[in-house]
Amino acid sequence: MSELEDKIAQARQEIEKASNIVVLTGAGISAESGVPTFRGQEGLWQNFRPEELATPDAFWNDPKLVWEWYDWRRNAVKDAKPNPGHYALAELESSVPHLTLVTQNIDGLHQMAGSTNITEMHGNIWQIRCTKCGEIEQNFQVPLPELPPKCKKCGELGRPNVVWFGEMIGMDLIDKILRAIEECQVMLIIGTSGIVEPAASMGLVAKQTNKTVIEINLDETPSAGLYDIVIREKSGEVLPVLFTSNPNRVLS
């Protein structure tokens, strides 16, 4: 058995034994759907780094520029379809008594693939939130007719309903995720660079409470050494193999 087959067999065993699983996904799971990640070269937009644009300061300094970037990102996501990794997770949800899918992605592809118990940590790119009255508008227009967009209710400036660098994620949401980790037996961490907090620490929380942690990521990540099983493959290729009912299916 190759090292990869061995890891896959171990991971399958852990997943099959578990009745409660937490899955944490990041931009990597959507990479094979053509959605740019943040860290790769393709994540750069007009030579700005996301850290320079996805902040409240950048927005208040130049709302139009930040909206131009979101308009570009919305366009990059618009025609994206879920890939076999998204579908495999939706299938896993239907075969495990409890599965909580926590995503840092704002692209909506997990919903499209059929997952239902989803916690979106960083909001959703298809929503515009009023900076004054807080009204949230679902909006799928690409490109947006006016940048920056205005609130339909009060006419004030709208912003993407996403969590920016330097902004807090609601404590109730964090609590809910930590409780899910506490109650699970296995945590899967897929396609996330493990750099952006608080998601970056969630695998550590799972390890501190003796859960089995399985990571699937193309590249090295800072906490990989602490995890039980680390698979360095594309999520769209490995997830269908991990969850299939045919144990003889292996990666080509």
Tell me the β-bridge partners of 213.
187
Closest CA to 136 of 120, 155, 152, 122: 152
What stretch of H or E contains 241?
A: helix 235-243
**Closest distance between Zn ion and the C-beta of residue 55, in Å?**
22
Q: Restricting to residues 17-36, which ones interact with ligand NAD according to CB under 6 A?
A: 26-28, 30-32, 35
Is 122 assigned a catalytic role?
A: yes
Residue 132, token pair as written in the block: 């004054």
Contact string 120-139 vs ligand NAD (x = CB under 6 A): --x-----------------
**Closest distance between Zn ion and the C-beta of residue 153, in Å?**
5
Q: State which of residues 23, 96, 113, 196 lies at the interface with ligand NAD (CB under 6 A).
A: 196
Do residues 142 and 71 lie in contact, with contact meaning Cβ atoms separated by under 8 Å? yes
Closest CA to 200 of 184, 177, 182: 177
**Closest distance between ligand NAD and the C-beta of residue 32, in Å?**
5
Looking at beta carbons only, is 9 or 133 nearer to Zn ion?
A: 133
Q: Which does 98 bind (CB under 5 to 8 A by kind): ligand NAD, Zn ion, none?
A: none
Looking at beta carbons only, is 128 or 151 nearer to ligand NAD?
A: 128
CA distances from 158 to 48, 59, 135, 182 (A): 22, 11, 9, 37
